[in-house]
Amino acid sequence: MSNRTTLRDVAKATGVSITTVSLVLNNHPTRVSEEKRELIKRKANELNYVPNQTARSLVTKRSMLLALLVPDIENLFFASLAKEIEDECSADGYSLIIANSNDSKNTERQLLQQFEARNIDGLFLIPSSESTKDSTDLRSEVAQMSCPVVLTDRLVREQWCDAAGSDNYQGGQLAARLFVEAGHTHIACISGRHDNGNAEARKAGFVDELGKNHITIDPQLDCYGAYRFDGGYQTADRILDSGATAVFCCNDLMALGFSKRAEERNLSIPEDISLIGYDNVLNSLGIASNLTTIDQDIPQLAKSCHAYMMNRIKQKASKLSPAPWLNDPQTSLLKPKMIIKGSVRTIK
């Protein structure tokens, strides 16, 4: 038998009905004196009364639980985004479950099924890389869920639900412009994954902007690092031995791995090679504080996807429209911002 305090215990301690206690603790109107109202709240606090959310959800049909599925929980970008989303949701009384798909489409599918079984009120979803390229399976899995889904950060090509992201193509252009203005023409790139939509968009913006200045990337210097530290570290030697004077890493973790390898070889950034990262998640931690990088405005990204979610939760599913959140989907793309530090050297 649980020894947690119940509504009945609070009612007994204050001499009123269970209904009155419930109405007062839920700030619903009820005919009790202000003095009695304060007594009920004080006693509930003294008895450590915590609402039974499971019982409440049977009445309100709301679990007050939201979920966030990230592709790499070890990546500081997702940790930072999770914190910002959690701050927004808790302000509205929601708790946030965070789960990691490890960038696997199969794990992503299994977790969507587990979330559905937990009666969550909504899901913030950062798709696995594979799903960003072909979201057919993901869309059919989302259509079977009984709660709103909002995509964030990694959007899919087909717009089938609300989505809040950053303009990755523009971010790649910003990196290219900075290298061109600094006089670099022998340039390398370390992208995310071949099948990752936002990594591809970043690289496309980078390559197209270089192309406008008649600069191309040697295929040997067109690398992939899966957005991980060791991806930047493992590809560094090929770039450092090539004579390239600049490298764009499509996220800060790969930039960190690259700079670690350069340091091990007693090569200096930017003196020996200029470096640009992406995400702006290291400077605030005092790591790689010299790294010029591109900021995706994570707090605003969290606000945008949270606003979509609250709006969709208010939409009642009905027989006519069993998944209204799949109707009239909205997309917002935030403008990325270049954060100039000291890792790019002018050579012209």
Residues near ligand RIB (CB under 6 A): 75, 77, 153-154, 198, 227, 251, 253, 278-279
Q: By C-alpha distance, which of 151, 153, 100 is closest to 281?
A: 153
253 vs 323, beta carbon nearer ligand RIB: 253
Q: How far is the CB of 109 from ligand RIB (least distance, A)?
A: 19
Contacts of 313 (CB under 8 A, 6+ apart): 121, 122, 148
Joined together, the tokens standing for residue 85 give 């989303």
7 vs 126, beta carbon nearer ligand RIB: 126
The answer to whether 100 touches 72, Cβ cutoff 8 Å, is: yes
Q: How far is the CB of 198 from ligand RIB (least distance, A)?
A: 5
Q: How far is the CB of 241 from ligand RIB (least distance, A)?
A: 26
Q: How far is the CB of 191 from ligand RIB (least distance, A)?
A: 11
236 vs 301, beta carbon nearer ligand RIB: 301
58 vs 285, beta carbon nearer ligand RIB: 285
Parallel, antiparallel, or unpaired for β 337-339 and 293-295? antiparallel
Q: How far is the CB of 153 from ligand RIB (least distance, A)?
A: 5
Contacts of 335 (CB under 8 A, 6+ apart): 166, 167, 170, 297
Dihedral class, residue 68 (left if φ above 0, else alpha if ψ from -120 to 50, else beta):
beta
Contacts of 314 (CB under 8 A, 6+ apart): none
Provide the residue type at 32 as one letter. Answer: V
d(CA 181, CA 193): 28
Give per-residue burial for 271-292: e unless 16+ CB within 10 Å, then b. Answer: eebbbbbbbbbbbeeeebeebb
Q: How far is the CB of 176 from ligand RIB (least distance, A)?
A: 17
Distance of CA 24 to the CA centre of its chain: 37
Question: DSSP letters of 253-298?
Answer: HHHHHHHHHHHHTT--TTTT-EEE-SB--SGGGTSSTT-BEEE--H
Which residue minimizes CB distance to ligand RIB? 251
71 vs 122, beta carbon nearer ligand RIB: 71
152 vs 245, beta carbon nearer ligand RIB: 152
Cα–Cα distances in angstroms (integers) from residue 52 to residues 4, 6, 7, 60, 180, in the given order: 9, 8, 9, 12, 60
Q: How far is the CB of 281 from ligand RIB (least distance, A)?
A: 7
6 vs 129, beta carbon nearer ligand RIB: 129
Q: How far is the CB of 202 from ligand RIB (least distance, A)?
A: 8
The answer to whether 161 touches 329, Cβ cutoff 8 Å, is: yes
77 vs 169, beta carbon nearer ligand RIB: 77
86 vs 103, beta carbon nearer ligand RIB: 103
Q: How far is the CB of 183 from ligand RIB (least distance, A)?
A: 27
Beta-carbon-side half-sphere exposure of residue 145 (alpha carbons within 13 Å) = 30
